[in-house]
Structure 1
Amino acid sequence: MASISSLGVGSNLDLSTLLTQLQTAESQPLVNLQSQQVSFTTKLSAYGTLKNSLTSLQAAATKLSNPALFQGVKGNVSATDVLSVVATGTAVAGDYAIDVTRLAQSQSLVSAGQASAKTAIGTGTVKIEFGTITGGTLDPATGTYNPGAGFTADATRTALPITIDASNNTLEGIRDAINSSKAGVSASIVNDGSATPNRLVLTSTQTGETSSMSISVTGDAALQSLLGNDPTGTQNLRQSVAAQNAKLTVNGIDISSTSNVVKEAIQGTTLNLLKIGTSKLSMQKDTASVLSAIGDFVKAYNSLQNTAKSLTAYDADKKQGAALLGDATLRNLQTRIRQALNTPQSGGPDDMKVLSEIGVSLQKDGTLSMDSDKLSAALNNKLDGVSKLFASGEGSTAGYGKQLSALVDDLTSTHGALQAATDGVNATLKQLDEQYTKMQDHVTATVDRYRAQFTQLDLLVSSMNNTMKYLTQQFDAMSSSD
């Protein structure tokens, strides 16, 4: 059968354009389906934006639902160069006079000088025990304790054996062996510039009187002579810094601490001692954190309202509404949240029951306003009442914080209204995808049929034209012969 290279060539008809027009007409349902897909996809995105705003509101409400927020205490220190303070949840308000008379420090011991840090000394086993030196007096000239000193070991710390052998029996090797043993001692070498300048310095990694060192050595006499140090007997090391506790008074009460980080000297606080001196410490209710949390709640609520407004707006010029214009799910969500905020809390006759009592009020446009002066006054004078307004005790569902958090949970949960609406849109999009696929197959089949029919038409007309041309030639030939 004859064939044609391009549709319409054989018949001299514009079949290609006609086929394109038919394809466009047949594809119109696809355009409509695409438009619906775009609309529902936009709606799905809008629900996601709405959920994000709800999640932010829930986070702010959850923070306010915690009674600990309203029980917080912060410390103000008059001499920040003397100490700093960190308060925990058990801290209570109060004023304190603090006098730091001594800082805790670690003991340091210094060995006799060695001509070289790389010369072998001796081998053996070193054990460093920690404890408290009692009695006796320190000779400042020699840096050793006079007879009569006692040593009480710290039973909570076990002495670790440190092996000194041919691989590490130089001063540098001994230093490295002590440091790698993690025995609670930091070792270093100091050069004092003398004829035998290299001195091994041992410093306890912990401060306090219970971290004084007693060092026993088994092995070569040279190693014993270098490191052996019994505060009650032979002492081959010189004490350059004594182990001591921090000493301070709090409102005239004497306090001793093995560390400069003093915990619970005042209930619920950690004092970080920085230097000797005096300071006033005022522990006050942390109303600033509560004020900030309530402000964040108002911002989150107003952000939700602004999000809802943008998702339901109508553009008169374009005559087009936003994705959730007239959406029942959004309208129901806003109504439930407003009802929750307008419902008074239960409580006694003197308890706060509504947000307006602390300066937080609903406006005509649906947003919340916050009177900072009124809120600050409520926090300073009726903090317990503000706490009950937002948070309740264990097992109770009272308080705007808990109620709003629970409401958002209900709205966004697996079976919640917002999730149900989202699932509905996803189901519709799936159906539209299936319809589009089927319709596309139908359009393709129809256009293919048209193309086949036009091709046959083209061939038929082409054949008829050829026949007509032949007959014309024959008739012309017969006429000319006459």
Structure 2
Amino acid sequence: MAVSSIGVGSGLDLATLLSKLETAESQPLAAIQARATSYTTKLSAYSQVQSALNVLKTAGDKLADPEFFKTVKAANSDSDVLSVTTGDTAVAGSYAIDVTQLAQSQSLVSTGQASAKTAIGSGTITINFGAIHGGSLDAATGQYTGATFDADPKRTPAQITVGTGTNTLEGIRDAINKANAGVSASVVNDGSGTPNRLVLVSTQSGEASTMQISVAGDAALKNLLAYDPAGTQTMKQTTVGQNAKLNINGIDIVSAGNTVQEGIQGTTLTLAKIGASSLKLTSDTAAVSTAITAFVNAYNGLQSTAAKLTAYDADAKKGAALMGDQTLRTLLTRVRQTLTGAQAGGPDDMKVLSEIGVSFQKDGTLAVDSAKLSGALSKNLSGVAGLFSSGTGSTAGYGKQLSALVTEMTSSDGALTTATNGVNTTLEDLSDQYNAVQARVDSTVERYRAQFTQLDVLVNSLNNTMNYLTQQFDAMNGVSKK
């Protein structure tokens, strides 16, 4: 007889019995899972340690760079006149700056046209760049008399072809802009009877970026665009191309643009208006102090992480994931040894952290005496720099030594990586064990299920036979009584 569920045919609670047998057979799986959970927790703990080490290394790397201690900050008396950006090569000093002229780009405007869409003429426009010398400029007409034009040999003249489709004012504008000729073209409307005017602006400022425009082609095109400061000037100059001029501590400086680089070593001056300003460059000891404090905090962060991962919970009577872990203990010992070892140097050089106000506390953390650190930075910045980094090519200095130590421990064959790999290997083995035991449990349970199914069928069959015989005997007894 076929049965749809174990025990239905026999009336026995075989399903519950099978479930209990499966639970009993699965006990080894729980033990393996518990071990796997323990190792997963340990793996997470190692990850936390590595994260804390990376924070410490980042802080150490900053102090390991000798250029960091050369950082200079700028104090500018008038930011409306100019702004200042300092670079790695800037040095301390005081500067009086007088801006007498700002750089600007030359601008030319054509005569007005009734329509910006009406064809004007065809030909080839050649735009050259250079400087205007001598002569006089009529401010009212925007034209030069008696001037000469010296082309810049380093810049190749730009040529723009004007023909069908581009021979209107708008078409010429678009052709010039598309050519990337060093000129920005636009059409303006001045509201007059012939309002449309072509405006050309040099994309580079300075005297050497003055335009000279020649036209080969129709007379109408020449009459619109020809411009030679030393000859025919059909366009009007509305803005003179000029250099920026400034004086720094009595030295005259000329710049084609309003961004002046290296006028003062390691600085970029951005000129905004004519005027005077005083500039003071000083060593940025505040940035160094912040970096040293960050270094101390990173070290204390590592100590805090280690304390949490090695703690013992007396109530739960259970230790944290890395309690008694040899890898972590060795790591912490080596980091502390690095920071307590004295640096080499001359008799006047700083050799230990306590000289700058950084000292170890009873609980193993570091503390900063801000006043002592500030004093060390103001009196002997180079000595503080040598304490953390002795320069390019050297391995001395707490910043460099600690960075090298963390790199070693977290490298592919480092102690922390080796320990982490060991845990991963164990987890893989436990996974294999779990799968093997699970397969064995599944096989055993299936065997029990088959046996229980056979038992269910057999008992059901016996019950049916018993019921049949009982009915037969009852029937026989009924006949004999009659």
TM category, shorter = over 0.9
Q: Distance in 2 between matches of 1:122 and 1:54?
A: 74
Of the three residues 175, 199, 214, the one matched with 2:197 is 199
For 1:121, the equivalent position in structure 2 comes to 120
For 1:149, the equivalent position in structure 2 comes to 147
Asked whether the 8 Å contact 2:66–2:392 carries over to 1, the reply is: no
Q: Distance in 2 between matches of 1:105 and 1:6?
A: 95
By how many angstroms is 1:476 displaced?
A: 5.8
After superposition, the Cα gap between the structure-2 partners of 1:225 and 1:11, relative to the gap in structure 1 and judged at 3 Å, is: closer
Answer with 63-72 or 173-182: which moved more.
173-182
After superposition, the Cα gap between the structure-2 partners of 1:174 and 1:468, relative to the gap in structure 1 and judged at 3 Å, is: closer
After superposition, the Cα gap between the structure-2 partners of 1:198 and 1:471, relative to the gap in structure 1 and judged at 3 Å, is: closer
For 1:44, the equivalent position in structure 2 comes to 43
Q: Distance in 1 between matches of 2:198 and 2:461?
A: 113
By how many angstroms is 1:5 displaced?
A: 3.8
- Normalising to structure 2: TM-score of the pair? 0.95
After superposition, the Cα gap between the structure-2 partners of 1:384 and 1:468, relative to the gap in structure 1 and judged at 3 Å, is: same
For 2:184, the equivalent position in structure 1 comes to 186
Partner deviation per Cα, 1:170-209 (whole Å, 9 max, x = no partner): 1111111111111111112222222222222211111111
Partner deviation per Cα, 1:79-115 (whole Å, 9 max, x = no partner): 0100011111111110000011111111111211222
Partner deviation per Cα, 1:155-176 (whole Å, 9 max, x = no partner): 1111110111121111111111
Q: Distance in 1 between matches of 2:138 and 2:99?
A: 27
Q: Which amino acid aligns with 1:36?
A: R
After superposition, the Cα gap between the structure-2 partners of 1:149 and 1:14, relative to the gap in structure 1 and judged at 3 Å, is: same
Partner deviation per Cα, 1:325-355 (whole Å, 9 max, x = no partner): 2221111111111111111111111111111
By how many angstroms is 1:47 displaced?
A: 1.3
For 1:72, the equivalent position in structure 2 comes to 71
Q: Distance in 2 between matches of 1:466 and 1:194?
A: 117
Structure 2 gaps of 5+ residues are: none
For 1:403, the equivalent position in structure 2 comes to 401
Q: Which amino acid aligns with 1:302?
A: N
Q: Distance in 2 between matches of 1:198 and 1:134?
A: 31
For 1:377, the equivalent position in structure 2 comes to 375
SS at match of 2:100: strand
Q: Identity percentage over the alignment? A: 64
Answer with 117-126 or 363-372: which moved more.
363-372
SS at match of 1:318: coil
For residues 101-120 of structure 1, what are the structure 2 equivalents within 5 Å?
Answer: 101-120=100-119
SS at match of 2:452: helix
Of the three residues 163, 166, 172, the one matched with 1:165 is 163
Partner deviation per Cα, 1:207-249 (whole Å, 9 max, x = no partner): 1111111111100111111111111111111111111111111
Q: Distance in 2 between matches of 1:280 and 1:193?
A: 46
For 2:172, the equivalent position in structure 1 comes to 174
For 1:24, the equivalent position in structure 2 comes to 23
SS at match of 1:127: strand
Answer with 465-474 or 370-379: which moved more.
465-474
SS at match of 1:290: helix
SS at match of 1:173: helix
For 1:242, the equivalent position in structure 2 comes to 240
For 1:423, the equivalent position in structure 2 comes to 421
SS at match of 1:99: strand
Aligned residues: 480
- Normalising to structure 1: TM-score of the pair? 0.95
Give the superposed CA RMSD. 1.8
After superposition, the Cα gap between the structure-2 partners of 1:113 and 1:461, relative to the gap in structure 1 and judged at 3 Å, is: closer
Structure 1 gaps of 5+ residues are: none
Of the three residues 308, 332, 345, the one matched with 1:347 is 345
By how many angstroms is 1:438 displaced?
A: 0.9
